[in-house]
């Protein structure tokens, strides 16, 4: 169960509170009435379901079809027999006999000239469709509700820029209009004439074979005039105006309310028709008087205004604040190449590196010094020192060694002790 928001009134309150008044347009010849208006009938608050309307419309429009079929005997009025094999012809049945072109021609098959078609159309095809009564009513109710929304009526293509109010309710005096001339002037007063003009200008010859089949002209739909009382004169006055259609409230036709399956026909109501709507369709709680036990369909969402719901106190107070800064994926950097990422991972690396650098410098320095000292030419004192040192070392070596046959060597070396 959804929590009940404070801005969503429950049914009873909503019915009473949100029933705006619709003013009745008066025609020129009327006496000025007190312009209070009629409260909007609940039908116009029903949920608008273009999907249901489309479905029901497509099914209902199948109901006025007349069957068509190919003749049952077509293609079979021959006594053809196959010649069998061995005659160098294909094996389809061929017309028997002789003396005419027809003899020996193929017959019976859908591929043969003059044969029966594939799957001959039959009259017992299921032409009509049954639709559940509730669905039909839902569709009608939806279509009526949609006709009260100016955006939808405009979207369907009607010219309602100059209409003083939607839904358009006209005083009952319109029911007494007898001449078409007056009917047109009434439409002009009410602001509906541009729609009629659009319909009149749009009359053209139908493309296609329909024009030879008694459906020669097509044109746009204009306003639909709904009246409340029987035997009213306006029917005859308005029916000859191109685009204009008339209907009685008691017998509203979905095919007229949503032509082509598209919701939002421009409807002109008479006052008595408008008042009857409540009793015919009932309200969301009250069952209808004319349709036994029927109650208007409930919407999936009572309050469909998303913007208002989202911005309401109830929702905003519980919602977390917007995250303005977007956390984006960081680029991976190689620690072995990038010092900072290495340090992020291993802080000791800094000192280790430093130590390594310093050690390297020491090594370099030491090597350089060594090389320099080696490459430097030896000074006289040093070389003398070196020579003296080597002599004395040799002497010590001799004296240390205690070699007995030293006499032999003295001759060789020529060294005098």
Partner 1 sequence: MTTVPGQLVWEIVKKNNSFLVKEFGNGTQSVQFSKEPNNLYNLNSYKHSGLANKKTVTIQPAGKEQAVLLATTKTKKQSKPASLLNKSILKKEFNRMAKAVVNQVASNYYRPDLKKAALARLSAVNRSLKVSKSGVKKKNRQVSRVYGRK
- Contact footprint for partner 1 (CB under 8 A): 18, 20, 22, 40, 44-45, 48, 50, 145-146, 148-152, 154-157, 160-167, 191, 262-263, 303-308
For partner 1, give the closer residue by CB, 229 or 275: 275
> How close are the terminal C-alpha atoms of the chain, in Å?
128
Could you tell me the smallest distance in angstroms from the CB atom of residue 279 to partner 1? 20
Q: Report how far residue 343's alpha carbon sits from residue 104's, in angstroms, rounded to the nearest whole number.
A: 99
Could you tell me the smallest distance in angstroms from the CB atom of residue 44 to partner 1? 6
For partner 1, give the closer residue by CB, 106 or 264: 264
For partner 1, give the closer residue by CB, 95 or 196: 196
Give 167's DSSP letter.
Answer: S
Could you tell me the smallest distance in angstroms from the CB atom of residue 306 to partner 1? 5
For partner 1, give the closer residue by CB, 35 or 69: 35
Could you tell me the smallest distance in angstroms from the CB atom of residue 161 to partner 1? 6
For partner 1, give the closer residue by CB, 43 or 252: 43
For partner 1, give the closer residue by CB, 115 or 167: 167
Can you list the alpha helix ranges (DSSP code H) found in 121-169?
133-146, 150-156
Could you tell me the smallest distance in angstroms from the CB atom of residue 21 to partner 1? 9
Could you tell me the smallest distance in angstroms from the CB atom of residue 59 to partner 1? 19
Q: Report DSSP letters for 246-285, one per residue.
A: EEEGGG--HHHHSGGG-S---EEEEHHHHHHHHHHH--SS
**Torsion, Cα of 365, 370, 376, 379 (10° steps):** 120
Could you tell me the smallest distance in angstroms from the CB atom of residue 47 to partner 1? 9
Q: Report how far residue 153's alpha carbon sits from residue 192's, in angstroms, rounded to the nearest whole number.
A: 13
Strand order in the sheet with 24-25: 24-25, 168-170, 267-270, 224-227, 245-248
Environment class of 380 (CB within 10 Å of its CB; exposed 0-12, middle 13-18, buried 19+): exposed
For partner 1, give the closer residue by CB, 308 or 368: 308
Are the C-beta atoms of 152 and 144 separated by less than 8 Å?
A: no
Please give the backbone phi and psi of residue 83, each rounded to the nearest 5 degrees, phi first. -80, -5
Only one residue has tokens 């061929």, namely 94
């Amino acid at each position: 169960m959804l929590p009940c928001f404070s801005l969503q009134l429950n049914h009873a309150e909503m019915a009473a509170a949100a029933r705006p008044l619709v003013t009745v347009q008066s025609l020129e010849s009327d006496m000025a009435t007190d312009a209070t208006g009629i409260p909007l009938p609940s039908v116009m608050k029903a949920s608008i379901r273009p999907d249901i309307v489309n479905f029901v419309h497509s099914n209902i429009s199948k109901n006025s079809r007349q069957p068509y079929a190919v003749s049952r005997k077509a293609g079979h009025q021959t006594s053809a027999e196959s010649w069998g094999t061995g005659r160098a012809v294909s094996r389809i049945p061929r017309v028997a006999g002789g003396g005419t072109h027809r003899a020996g021609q193929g017959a019976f098959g859908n591929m043969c000239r003059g044969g029966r078609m594939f799957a001959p159309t039959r009259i017992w095809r299921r032409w009509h469709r049954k639709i559940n009564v509730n669905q039909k009513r839902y569709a009608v109710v939806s279509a009526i509700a949609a006709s009260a929304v100016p955006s939808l009526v405009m979207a369907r293509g009607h010219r309602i820029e100059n209409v003083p109010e939607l839904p358009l309710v006209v005083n009952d005096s319109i029911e007494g209009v007898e001449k078409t001339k007056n009917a047109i002037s009434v439409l002009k007063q009410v602001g509906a004439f541009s729609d009629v003009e659009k319909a009149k200008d749009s009359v053209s010859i139908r493309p296609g074979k329909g024009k030879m089949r008694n459906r020669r002209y097509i044109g746009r739909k204009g306003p639909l005039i709904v009246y409340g009382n029987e035997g009213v004169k306006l029917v005859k006055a308005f029916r000859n105006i191109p685009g204009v259609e008339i209907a009685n409230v008691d017998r509203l036709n979905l095919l007229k309310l949503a032509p082509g399956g598209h919701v939002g026909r421009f409807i002109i109501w008479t006052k008595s028709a408008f008042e009857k709507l409540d009793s015919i369709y009932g309200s969301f709680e009250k069952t209808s008087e004319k349709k036994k036990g029927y109650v208007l369909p409930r919407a999936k969402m009572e309050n469909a205004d998303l913007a208002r719901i989202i911005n309401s106190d109830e929702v905003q107070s519980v919602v977390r604040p917007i995250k303005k800064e977007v956390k984006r994926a960081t680029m991976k950097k190689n620690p072995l190449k990038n010092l900072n990422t290495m340090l992020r991972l291993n802080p000791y690396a800094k000192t280790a590196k430093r130590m390594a650098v310093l050690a390297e410098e020491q090594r370099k320095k030491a090597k350089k010094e060594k090389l320099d000292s080696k490459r430097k030419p030896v000074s006289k004192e040093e070389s003398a020192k070196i020579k003296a040192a080597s002599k004395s070392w040799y002497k010590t070596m001799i004296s240390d060694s205690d070699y007995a046959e030293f006499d032999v060597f003295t001759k060789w070396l020529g060294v005098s002790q």
